[in-house]
Structure 1
Amino acid sequence: MDKHSELSEAATDLILEVFRFNGALLNSGDNLVGDLGLTSARWQVLGAIVLEERDLTVAQIARRMGLARQSVRRVVNDLVDSDLLKYSENPHHKRAKLVGLTHKGAETYRLADQRQIRWAKALTDGITIKDLKTSLSIIRCLEERCTEEVGQNDQEWNL
């Protein structure tokens, strides 16, 4: 097998494993926070706002999560109905309302975060910090290439 084929095969194996890992991660997240009235999707939306430390528009949340605005809007509406998020006026835009946590939403996120910290510790037991940082670096590099470089000329791959 030549070097290009070996590299392509390794990249494909990594991509497929990331897909499987994403599914396992979402299932684990659902199990971890289900009794709090959250799903992984709901938890991610709350987290996007918490990590930004300010209210965001649905479009801003979607961009940060790398998801379609429509799917994020559905989750946000569910969270508003559950009194975990609230809409407020946006001084910078008439139609795009800001989305922020309610007191209940902040408390729910805090509880989920406490669980996640313990879960992450158990999940990574026996893995070195160096290996975790290397994995993170590689995933970030590939994500950047997907979103900025390779995706710019999709016609190139349509042979």
Structure 2
Amino acid sequence: MTGLSPGGWAFTELLVEVFRVNGLLLAAGDELARPAGLTSARWQVLGVVDHGPSTVAQVARAMGLTRQSVQQTADALVRDGLVELTDNPKHRRAKLMTLTPAGRSALRYVERQQAAWANAVAERLPHAELRACLSVLRDLGDLLEAPDGE
């Protein structure tokens, strides 16, 4: 790539590695969630809705995704009986998603599997490096979310 400074090159390498690891994490999430009848995407939506009734748009914002992609996942979760739609007193057309007992059970199963997996992975990496990586990714996310010039 031409025109990249050393910092720009390092950032580009980081981007490529984040994309690679994201794919691996999604695949691992699919494996963890499969026995509960979920995918990584369904698991993520259930996790947001678990914090309280949410519209599709609210879930999309929380996950950094488009409303349309979350709508497809929400429709599948409703169809499979894992979430239900309820009236939203703040908006006539934007229904609220809430977990059904089956959705809550599936989510709790995946959370238990994820905890065991996370503990096993974390044992193989230095804790200080994990914390430093988290700090850098949070700083990068904050920088990318900030309006230009801030």
What number of residue pairs does the alignment pair up? 146
Aligned to 1:89: 87
Percent of pairs with identical residues: 42
Aligned to 2:140: 142
By relative contact order (CA 8 Å, sep 6+), the higher-ranking structure is 2
1:28-50 CA deviation, whole Å, 9 max, x = no partner? 11111112110000000001112
- Name the SS of the counterpart of 2:135 in structure 1: helix
Instruction: Decide which moves more: 115-124 or 141-150.
Output: 141-150
Deviation of 1:147 after TM superposition, in Å, equals 2.0
1:70-112 CA deviation, whole Å, 9 max, x = no partner? 1100100100111000000011111111001000000100000
- Name the SS of the counterpart of 1:106 in structure 2: helix
Uncovered stretches (5+) of structure 1, i.e. residues with no partner:
153-159
Counterparts of 1:58 and 1:10 in 2: how far apart (Å)? Answer: 36
Give the structure-1-normalised TM-score.
0.87
Uncovered stretches (5+) of structure 2, i.e. residues with no partner:
none
Deviation of 1:129 after TM superposition, in Å, equals 2.3
Q: 2:34 is aligned with what amino acid?
A: G
Deviation of 1:133 after TM superposition, in Å, equals 1.4
Written as runs of structure 1 = structure 2, the 5 A alignment for 1:93-132 is: 93-132=91-130
Q: 1:20 is aligned with what amino acid?
A: R
Aligned-CA RMSD value: 1.3
- Name the SS of the counterpart of 1:55 in structure 2: coil
Written as runs of structure 1 = structure 2, the 5 A alignment for 1:1-159 is: 5-50=5-50, 53-150=51-148
Counterparts of 2:94 and 2:135 in 1: how far apart (Å)? Answer: 34
Q: List structure 1 runs of 4+ shifted beyond 4 angstroms.
A: none
Counterparts of 1:140 and 1:59 in 2: how far apart (Å)? Answer: 23
Counterparts of 1:6 and 1:74 in 2: how far apart (Å)? Answer: 41
Counterparts of 2:77 and 2:124 in 1: how far apart (Å)? Answer: 36
Give the structure-2-normalised TM-score.
0.93
